Amino acid sequence: MFSKILIANRGEIAVRIIKTCRRMGIQTVQVYSEADAGSLAVEMADEAVLIGPAPAAQSYLLADKIVEAVRQTGAQAVHPGFGFLSENAGFARRLRDEGIAFIGPNPEAIEAMGDKISSKKLAAEAGVSTVPGHMGLIETPEEAVKIANEIGYPIMIKASAGGGGKGIRVAHSDADMAEGFAAVKAEALNAFGDDRVFLEKFIIDPRHIEIQVLGDKHGHVVHLFERECSIQRRNQKVIEEAPSPLLDEATRAAMGAQAVALAQAVNYDSAGTVEFVAGQDKSFYFLEMNTRLQVEHPVTELITGVDLVEQMIRSAWGEALAFEQKDLKINGWAIESRIYAEDPYRGFLPSIGRLVRYEQPEEGEQDGYVVRNDSGVREGDEISMFYDPMIAKLCAWGETREDAVTGMARALEDTHLSGLGHNVPFLAAVMDQERFKSGELSTSYIKDEFPDGFHGLRPTVEQERILIASALAMHEVIAEQDGDPSDRTDWIVMIDKTPHGVGLSYDEDEEMILTLTGGGDIRLSDIDWRPGLAQFKAELDGEAFTAEVKRVADGFDIRHRAARARVRVLRPHVAELYARLPEKAVADTSKLVLSPMPGLVVSIPVVVGQEVKTGETVAIIEAMKMQNILKAERDGVVKAVGAKDGDPVAADDVLVEFG
C-alpha cells in the first residue's frame, strides 16, 4: 500500500481524504495556495507545500507545481479530489508517465467519459438512453440559435468540460440562447480552460438522479445505488439524498445496469458517477459521467458502509474489489445539505468574509439519527472569493426517510455561523416543507417553492411557542444575573408587532410553566443558555430544540429554522406604547443597480446618457468563478456609472444609477 499520498485539492474534500488516509496509516502531503496557508487541511496534513498565489489558475490548476511537490516530498500517489485537475486526462497521463499513481480512473477513461460530447456518443453506442441534443462543437451564437430552433426550446447550454454546476444556462428563446451561449463559453474558459459548448433538450419537470459506480484494474465494476440530487439552484446541487424517493427496485436495477455497462465499456477503474435526468414517470436519460469523486459521496457511504476514498486508493494500488454486486445492500436513508457562504435573503448571492463563529452539531449517533459533518473550515477562517463558497456538507442518516429528514432538521438547528451570510435557514425551510417530506421533487423545486426568492418563513404555531418561551426564559436569566429579578407573573411577549399575553410560574422542580392568554400551557425544561451564547437550547413540552439568539437593545433576535423575529418581553403598559411606534421608512434604491455581491466587474455595457429598456444587461459581475448577469428592472436613462471593467466591488456598491 502507498505510504504517502499528495492531495491536489483544498477545503473539505482535502480534510475528508486526510481522515481516510490517517485511518489507513498513510501519510499525507497537502498542497496549498497563499490563500489557504492557514487552512484546516494544511494543519491536519503531515506535510504541506506552497504552490502559488490564490487564483486557482496560478496554483491548484498548475500540473507542474503538483508534480514538483510530489518529487519534493517523495509522495507515491496523487488524489485530486473533485474539481481542479480531477478530470484532466492530460494530468493523469503525465503522472502515469512519471511513475506517479493517479488516484482516479485511467486517462483513457477520463478522456472517453470526461468530455460531455464524446461521452454521449459512447453512451448511445452502448445502448444507454440519451437526451436529444447537438453533440458537435458550436462556434458562434448564431449557429447556436439555429441549432436550438431545430431541437426546440427549452435548451440547456452546457460546457463540454463543465462540472459542479458551472458553465450551464437554460435558454427559452433566441435572445436567451445568444446571450447564454456567450456567457457559458466565457465561464467555461475561465473555470476549465476549455470553451467548447454543446446543446441538449431540457426535460420539463425533471429529476436529477445519479448512480455511483466503482471499478478496479481487474475488470470488476459494481454500482452502489443511486443519489437523488434534484434540489438545485442555478444547476448547483444543494440537497442530496440516497436512495431516491422516486425509484422502485426495477428502475433502480435498470439504471444501475446501464451505469455499470457504460463504465465497463471504457475499462473504468475507480470511483465515478453516471448521471441521469429522470422523468416523473421513472423514464431516464444519460446526462454525463463524472470521472471523479462526487461532492455528495457521503450519503452513499452512509447507506452502504463503503468508504469510497479508501476504495479509490485501493484500486489505484492495484487491489481487486473485495465485494461483488450481490454483497451491496441499501441500509436506511441519508440526506446531505450543502452549507454555503451565501445569503439566501439576497438571492443566494455569495457572501465572502471571515467565519466569526462556527458551532457545529455533534457528530455520531443522536436520538434516532446519525450526524456526519464534512467541513474544511474552522471558526476564524476566511471564505475566499477565489473558490467555491462551501463551508460544510452536513449529513443525517436515519432508518427511514422520515427519520433522516427529522435528523437533518435538528442538525441544522444545532449549526450556528456568524460573520457572513449562509444558507442554513433556507436548508431548514426545505426540511420543514410538506412537499419535500413527500418526496415530490424536481430540479425546479427551489424556483417553484420560492418564486420570489427566499425571505424566511412565518413562524408556525409551534415555533411561536418556541420564540415566546425562549425570550421569556432569557429575560429571566438576565434579570437574575443583573440582580434585578422580578416577581411579575404577567408579561406581553411581542413577536415583531404581534403581542402574546403570557403568565409565568414555576413548578416544584423549578421548571418554567408559561400560560398563554390564547389558551394552553408551555413547560420549558433543561434550559442551556447564559448571556453571550448564540444558541438557546431547551426542551419544550419534552421535545428538544435549538434556537439561534442574539441580544439587542430592546429584546432578542431569535431564529428557529427558517422563522426569524424580533422578540420583546414587555410589561403590559409598555407593550401598548410599542404598538404605536411608526414603521421605519425603507430607503428608495429603485433607481440604482447595486452589486449584489463582492466580486470583479467583467463589463458594464452601458454609458451615461444611454436609454435602457427593462431586461437589458447593465453589468456582469464575476464571483466564485461564476458570471452574474445583472439586468435593468425598469426603463430609464443612465445618469452615472460607478465602476469600470476589472474593478473590484463590494456588496451594495452602486454600479449604475438611472435618472
Amino acid at 29: V
Predicted local distance difference test score (pLDDT) of residue 641? 93
CA distance linking residue 441 with residue 280, whole number of Å: 9
DSSP 613-646: -TT-EEEEEEETTEEEEEE-SS-EEEEEE---TT
Q: Residues of the chain whose pLDDT is less than 50?
A: none
Phi, psi dihedral angles at 186 (to 5 degrees): -65, -45
Q: Which of 87, 241, 275, 288 is catalytic?
A: 288
Q: Any idea what DSSP says for residue 366?
A: -
Q: Who's near 224: CB < 8 A, 6+ residues apart?
A: 212, 213, 214, 300, 304, 306, 308, 328
Predicted local distance difference test score (pLDDT) of residue 434? 96
Q: What is the pTM of this model?
A: 0.82
Hey, what domains does the chain have and what are their CATH numbers? Answer: 4-103 (3.40.50.20), 123-131+206-326 (3.30.470.20), 132-201 (3.30.1490.20), 332-432 (3.30.470.20), 461-579 (3.30.700.30), 592-658 (2.40.50.100)
Predicted local distance difference test score (pLDDT) of residue 399? 98
Strand, coil or helix: 329: coil
Count of CB atoms situated within 10 Å of the CB of 379: 14
Asked if 288 is an active-site residue, the reply is yes
CA distance linking residue 603 with residue 643, whole number of Å: 9
Predicted local distance difference test score (pLDDT) of residue 499? 93
DSSP 97-144: HTT-EESSS-HHHHHHHHSHHHHHHHHHHTT--B--EE-S---SHHHH
As a residue count, the chain comes to 659
Pairing of strands 101-102, 77-79: parallel
- Over the stretch 446-482, which tens digit does the pLDDT of each residue have? 999 999 889 999 999 999 999 999 999 999 999 888 8
Q: Which residues pair with 169 in a beta bridge?
A: 157
Q: Among all chains, which residue has been given the C-alpha cell 481487474?
A: 218
Question: Torsion angle, CA of 285/286/287/293, rounded to 10 degrees?
Answer: 130
The radius of gyration of the chain's CA atoms, rounded to the nearest angstrom, is 27
Predicted local distance difference test score (pLDDT) of residue 77? 98
Nearest to 247 by CA among 259, 255, 257: 255
- Over the stretch 59-101, which tens digit does the pLDDT of each residue have? 999 999 999 999 999 999 999 999 999 999 999 999 999 999 9
Q: Among all chains, which residue has been given the C-alpha cell 482535502?
A: 14
| Alpha carbon distance, N-terminus to C-terminus of the chain | 69
